[in-house]
Amino acid sequence: MDIGVWMRAEVLADKLDARSESNSEQAWNLARWPTVLSEQGDHRLFVAVNGAWRGCFKISGEALYNPDDARTPCTLLFDTKTWTPMTPVAVHRFRGFTYDVPRSDSQKSD
């Protein structure tokens, strides 16, 4: 299953810069756990920036939980080397995360 988040452009740029680091894993904190990520299979984190979906990362099979963080106790992990850009698809701004992400056929093949 897939989920989507909204990032500022500079945050996505920072995440993408991590592709060249020896540890290319990055994190995204959430207020609640997306239930679909508890299901078996591959999961992707779609990223929206400046009003459009821009691409996705493959989500790690592991995650973090910090019960002492009342605001965002759930942390998704993803490898930035799995970034797959896509043809921009318009989206209205949202908070938290969404299950309403683009279909796979909008991803670029190059």
- Give the other-Cβ count within 10 Å of 108's Cβ: 9
**Could you tell me if residue 107 is inside a domain?**
no
pTM above 0.75, yes or no: yes
Is the pLDDT at 12 greater than 70? The verdict is yes
What single letter denotes the amino acid at residue 93?
A: R
pLDDT tens string 14-61: 999 999 999 999 999 999 999 889 889 999 999 999 999 999 999 998
Residues in the chain: 110
Q: Residue 2: how many CA atoms within 13 Å on its side-chain side?
A: 16
Domain holding 29, by residue range, is 2-99
**Could you tell me if residue 108 is inside a domain?**
no
Nearest alpha-carbon partner for 74 in 48, 100, 37, 102: 37
**Could you tell me if residue 18 is inside a domain?**
yes
Phi, psi for 10 (deg, rounded to 5) = -70, -25
| CATH (domain of 15) | 2.30.130
**Could you tell me if residue 110 is inside a domain?**
no
Structural domains counted in the chain: 1
**Could you tell me if residue 19 is inside a domain?**
yes
**Could you tell me if residue 106 is inside a domain?**
no
**Could you tell me if residue 104 is inside a domain?**
no
